[in-house]
Amino acid sequence: MEKCKEKKVLLFHCVESEDLARKVASQSDSIQLQSINWRSFDDGFPNLFINNAQDIRGQHVAFLASFSSPAVIFEQLSVIFALPRLFVASFTLVLPFFPTGSFERMEEEGDVATAFTMARILSNIPISRGGPTSLVIYDIHALQERFYFGDHVLPCFETGIPLLKQRLDQLPDADNIVVAFPDDGAWKRFYKQLQHYPMVVCTKVREGDKRIVRLKEGNPAGRHVVIVDDLVQSGGTLIECQKVLAAHGATKVSAYVTHGVFPKRSWERFTCCNEKEGSQRAFSYFWITDSCSHTVKAIGDKAPFEILSLAGSIADALQI
């Protein structure tokens, strides 16, 4: 069969995602970077300009977003709502990390589910000439959040796990890997994609005012154990999991998360030169993707971190 011709995609991006956008564009000659003037008025409100707006009529257009803080969301939403109205053939929004995704719980009256609010906002992106907006998100935190989106967007949920599997196959001890999950939620999210690896599942139990991590099932003894989760914030759970796995005989412990959020430079707890909390050399490898651009810039080449780029996967998603 003749291979389908790739469609030409004009890719816009926010300032923070420029490095990732360039990597995405380098994956295919059919993806061309476009630019936006991200200016502000004297009062701080956005003064934005989409360059070459006339030239994008009838074209397939995409925007690579990064909602890393509330301060940058409004200006990006302004562009996101404007692009589909410029008579484009189709519009795709790539939001690698859905940032409010860990705030979806309503445990008592008065809690505000900001994940639902963000989904409602994105669901009202104007329809382009080609129909609803395609929304590409990686490893959304809670599976039920896919039902938060309305009919005006078509959510496409991707995962970074293939990048992890590819990296694990390159390790010298690839035949001695065990995958561990820090809780049942992580197991439900990822176990089907990692079924060919032996598995260990941990659990959190409450003892007084503390939540303690314990081994629930599986045997890590003598193995290189890789903890897998969707995101990391402070990293406390991963550190406690490492201690439990090491106590049960794991020879090496590594970690993978799709989204390295690490607020307040909490990634410093994992660097090899940090002896605090006994975390020095605790992790042989710590893999994250470049879904959180600010983290990638802060970590650089600091061990034990390695960056697995989503660029190839995003380029493929733009062809869907």
**Model confidence pLDDT, tens digit, residues 76-109:** 999 999 999 999 999 999 999 998 755 455 567 8
Q: Which of 60-64, 109-113, 298-302 has the lowest mean pLDDT?
A: 109-113
Q: Are residues 32 and 149 in the same domain?
A: yes
Residue 108 forms part of a structural domain: yes
Task: Count up the domains in the chain and report the number.
Answer: 2
Mean pLDDT of 251-280: 81
Q: Are residues 114 and 169 in the same domain?
A: no
Token readout for 259 is 């989204």
pLDDT at 141: 73
Residue 144 forms part of a structural domain: yes
Domain that holds residue 110: 9-158+311-319
Task: Report the percentage of the chain scoring pLDDT > 90.
Answer: 79
Condensed to tens digits (0 to 9), the pLDDT of residues 275-284 reads 444 445 699 9
Q: Give the residue among 136, 132, 127 at the shortest CA–CA distance from 98.
A: 136
pLDDT at 101: 52
Q: Are residues 264 and 191 in the same domain?
A: yes
Q: Give the residue among 225, 295, 294, 234 at the shortest CA–CA distance from 254.
A: 225
Q: How many CB atoms lie within 10 A of CB 145?
A: 21
Residue 119 forms part of a structural domain: yes
Q: Does residue 208 register a pLDDT over 80?
A: no
Q: Does residue 210 register a pLDDT over 90?
A: no
Residue 80 maps to which CATH number?
Answer: 3.40.50.2020
127/81 Cα distance (integer angstroms): 9
The secondary element (H helix, E strand) that includes residue 230 is: strand 224-232
